[in-house]
């Protein structure tokens, strides 16, 4: 078969939109699947992906890249590196795999929706590669932790987490279902490849690959770097789509970006925030979460949105304020409710770590240190039961996360409420309330873990009943990896509490 050069045939094969003669356009592309906007149909023909790739190239490149990552894994599998990396790093891996691996597979469903219902052939074609990418990411991120299951049952949650009703799984699904699994092709193109992949994941994966390399986890580093290069290729779907949407329906573009940047931020604050500020061993911490956000997310995101003509989100003051709060408030909650998660959260509260926190976050002692002092006191008094929960956290009806981050205006945690069709909903912030009220029918049916508790779905209605409902057994539920030993060190070193 003669091998033509790509540039000799690519544009003819990539632009293959045609008019239907025997069926209506709307029957082939129903609005429920395509999405609705003010963009005229013919405008989508301008859709152009800057980075071109053919199927032949895709297969060649991906085969080599996956081969490289699997080769590193097989070379290291006898070295038991993960075991030697300590509980903090293992907790980062467990949280990451549980929240991400199966959702990568779900992302392939979203990409496949664009591959069928995107309104230009180049968009559909690029999304086919995106869908193949996400299938591979799901497979790899299930395969890598699989060999660790026999050493540590919590690694089973790489696969299990998304099949349970754990509150953290509910929160992750609330985000990803809205972002892609339950979104039409247009909304999804702005929400996943633009707001999430361009805004967060590329940078998150770059950061994690560097951290993994730094700490000596070459397995995870090679896996994550391989995934990241796919992500940056298919993330271009976002920019190509938003450029056209901006010309005809700026308001819709702004709404989708504002909504999804916020929701992604919340999960990011929980997972990456705690990882960077508390779980990563002190000697390997390069940056605080706030510094990382500032340098990699906030600056880059601002450049990106200003570059295409969007305004910064209306809640910017609250978002900036949360840089000093989200990781700390969420980590404190996760530590306290540790039996409800599938990893062992280190307190990250040695005296040296506490000094580090106070240097990076000047108001940390005042805002959060005082809560840790109570926990320390309880450990020192031998009242370990007081460091553990008796009830469930109150969660937000929009992001499904514990309501614990203060408001920029009052400096206090202030739940918001609204009533829709006779039911009362609680929110963590003005922003989550705004998202809910923008499309109440989209979100009102979603049951929080508290709704299920109060509605009698969780039986018996006790903390033990709730843990069983969430799929947790005494073997896999989260524990303090040091059993509170860190708290006793305070007394020995005469640190005033």
Binding site for Mn ion (CB under 5 A): 104, 134, 137, 231
Within 13 Å of residue 244, how many CA atoms lie on the same side as its CB?
Answer: 24
| CB-based closest residue to Mn ion | 137
Nearest Cα to 193, choosing from 294, 268, 107?
A: 107
If the CB atoms of residues 136 and 252 are measured against Mn ion, the closer one turns out to be: 136
One DSSP character per residue, 322-374 reads HTTTHHHHHHHHHHHTGGGSSS-------HHHHHHHHHHSTTHIIIIIHHHHH
- The pair phi, psi for residue 390, each rounded to 5°, is -110, -15
Decide: 420 and 308 in contact? Cβ < 8 Å: no
In angstroms, what is the minimal distance from the CB of 53 to Mn ion? 15
If the CB atoms of residues 137 and 259 are measured against Mn ion, the closer one turns out to be: 137
Q: How many residues does the chain have?
A: 497
If the CB atoms of residues 113 and 137 are measured against Mn ion, the closer one turns out to be: 137
Residue 18's SS3 state is: coil
Contacts of 396 (CB under 8 A, 6+ apart): 402, 403, 426, 427, 428, 429, 432, 448
Residue at token pair 């992949």: 197
If the CB atoms of residues 137 and 452 are measured against Mn ion, the closer one turns out to be: 137
SS percent in the chain: helix, strand, coil, step 5: 65, 0, 30
Decide: residue 471, CB within 10 A, 0-12 exposed, 13-18 middle, 19+ buried.
middle
* Number of Cβ atoms within 10 Å of the Cβ of 349: 21
Residue 417's SS3 state is: strand
If the CB atoms of residues 134 and 258 are measured against Mn ion, the closer one turns out to be: 134
What does the alpha-carbon distance between residue 269 and residue 330 come to, in Å, rounded to a whole number? Answer: 8
In angstroms, what is the minimal distance from the CB of 137 to Mn ion? 4
In angstroms, what is the minimal distance from the CB of 322 to Mn ion? 25
If the CB atoms of residues 241 and 323 are measured against Mn ion, the closer one turns out to be: 241
If the CB atoms of residues 61 and 413 are measured against Mn ion, the closer one turns out to be: 61
Which tokens go with 375? 């926990």
In angstroms, what is the minimal distance from the CB of 96 to Mn ion? 12
In angstroms, what is the minimal distance from the CB of 426 to Mn ion? 32
If the CB atoms of residues 88 and 130 are measured against Mn ion, the closer one turns out to be: 130
**420: part of which helix (H) or strand (E)?**
strand 416-420
In angstroms, what is the minimal distance from the CB of 85 to Mn ion? 24
If the CB atoms of residues 126 and 387 are measured against Mn ion, the closer one turns out to be: 126
In angstroms, what is the minimal distance from the CB of 262 to Mn ion? 19
In angstroms, what is the minimal distance from the CB of 191 to Mn ion? 12
First to last CA, the chain: 77
In angstroms, what is the minimal distance from the CB of 107 to Mn ion? 5
């Amino acid at each position: 078969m003669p091998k033509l050069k790509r540039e000799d045939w690519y544009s003819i094969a990539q632009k293959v939109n045609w008019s239907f003669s025997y069926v209506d356009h709307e029957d082939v592309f129903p609005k429920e699947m395509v999405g609705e906007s003010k963009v005229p149909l013919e405008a989508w023909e301008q859709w152009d992906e800057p980075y071109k790739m053919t199927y032949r190239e895709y297969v060649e490149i991906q085969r080599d890249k996956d081969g490289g990552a699997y080769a590193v894994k097989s070379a290291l599998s006898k070295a038991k590196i993960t075991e030697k990396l300590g509980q903090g790093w293992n907790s980062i891996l467990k949280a990451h795999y549980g929240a991400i691996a199966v959702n990568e597979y779900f992302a392939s469903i979203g990409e496949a929706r664009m591959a069928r219902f995107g309104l230009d052939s180049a968009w559909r074609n690029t999304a086919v590669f995106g869908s193949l990418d996400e299938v591979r990411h799901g497979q790899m991120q299930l395969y890598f932790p699989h060999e660790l299951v026999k050493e540590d049952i919590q690694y089973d949650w790489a696969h299990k987490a998304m099949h349970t009703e754990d509150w953290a799984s509910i929160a992750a699904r609330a985000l990803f279902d809205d972002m892609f699994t339950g979104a039409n092709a247009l909304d999804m193109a702005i929400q996943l490849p633009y707001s999430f992949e361009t805004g967060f994941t590329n940078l998150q994966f770059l950061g994690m690959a560097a951290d993994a390399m730094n700490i000596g986890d070459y397995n995870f580093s090679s896996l994550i770097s391989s995934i990241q290069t796919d992500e940056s290729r298919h993330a271009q779907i976002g920019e190509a789509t938003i450029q056209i949407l901006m010309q005809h329906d700026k308001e819709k573009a702004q709404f989708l970006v504002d909504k999804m940047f916020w929701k992604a931020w919340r999960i990011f604050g929980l997972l990456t925030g705690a990882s960077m500020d508390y779980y990563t061993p002190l000697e390997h911490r390069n940056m605080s979460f706030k510094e990382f956000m500032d340098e990699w997310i906030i600056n880059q995101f601002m450049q990106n949105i200003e570059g295409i003509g969007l305004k910064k989100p209306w809640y910017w003051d609250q978002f900036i304020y949360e840089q000093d709060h989200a990781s700390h408030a969420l980590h404190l909650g996760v530590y306290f409710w540790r039996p409800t998660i599938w990893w062992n959260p280190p307190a990250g509260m040695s005296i040296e770590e506490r000094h580090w926190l106070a240097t990076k976050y000047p108001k940390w002692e005042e805002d959060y240190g005082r809560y840790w002092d109570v926990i320390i006191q309880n450990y020192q008094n031998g009242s370990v039961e007081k460091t553990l929960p008796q009830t469930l956290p109150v969660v937000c009806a929009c992001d499904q996360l514990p309501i614990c981050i203060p408001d920029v205006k009052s400096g206090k945690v202030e739940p918001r409420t609204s009533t829709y069709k006779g039911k009362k909903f609680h929110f963590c912030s003005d922003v989550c309330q705004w998202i809910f009220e923008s499309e109440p029918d989209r979100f009102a049916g979603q049951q929080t873990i508290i709704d299920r508790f109060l509605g009698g779905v969780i039986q018996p209605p006790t903390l033990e009943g709730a843990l069983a409902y969430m799929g947790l057994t005494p073997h896999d539920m989260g524990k303090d990896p040091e059993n509170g030993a860190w708290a006793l060190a305070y007394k020995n070193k005469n640190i005033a509490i």
